[in-house]
């Protein structure tokens, strides 16, 4: 498994996912990759975590429970200067994402990944987008 950072500084990743099992699996993968993980089951909790914890990257589930979306968090983040440069990876279990949703993701500088690719691919993408920030 790759290590995201040297031993002197661990990155903190916010995982926004409504499925507890998936949140825990992501926490395990990111922990092994050298990250601290903060979890949020919904957009409201995610936005609270952003205000109270220094976050280096965000993993957002695209489709959350109760007809909510990770795009809510992404759009709110990009409205505030202090969160505008935090790297974001959007995850989805869907086979296809609507073109309007893909356009929102691109416009806000986020990356789209499909869960079917596996969680190691998510860790690899996260390493690509946050390691340069550590340099």
Decide: 4 and 130 in contact? Cβ < 8 Å: yes
**Domain chopping of the chain, boundaries:** 11-129
- Counting Cβ atoms within 10 Å, is residue 54 exposed (0-12), middle (13-18) or buried (19+)? exposed
pLDDT in tens, 43-94: 999 999 999 999 999 999 999 988 889 999 999 999 999 998 899 999 888 8
Q: Which CATH number fits domain 11-129: 3.40.50.720, 3.40.50.2300, 1.50.10.10, 3.40.190.10?
A: 3.40.50.2300
Residue 133 pLDDT > 60, yes or no? no
Decide: 87 and 129 in contact? Cβ < 8 Å: yes
Question: Confidence class of residue 1 from pLDDT cuts 50, 70 and 90?
Answer: very low
């Amino acid at each position: 498994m790759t290590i995201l950072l040297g031993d002197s500084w661990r990155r903190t990743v916010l995982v926004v996912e409504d499925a507890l099992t998936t949140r825990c699996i992501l926490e395990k993968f990111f922990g092994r990759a050298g990250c601290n993980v903060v979890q949020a089951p919904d957009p409201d909790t995610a936005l609270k975590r952003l205000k109270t914890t220094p976050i280096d990257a965000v993993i957002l589930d695209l489709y959350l429970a109760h007809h909510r979306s990770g795009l809510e968090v992404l759009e709110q983040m990009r409205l505030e200067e202090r969160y505008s440069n935090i790297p974001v990876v959007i995850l989805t279990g869907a086979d296809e994402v609507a073109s309007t949703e893909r356009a929102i993701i691109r416009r806000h500088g986020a990356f789209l990944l499909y869960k079917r690719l596996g969680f190691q691919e998510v860790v690899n993408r996260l390493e690509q987008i946050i390691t340069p920030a550590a340099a």
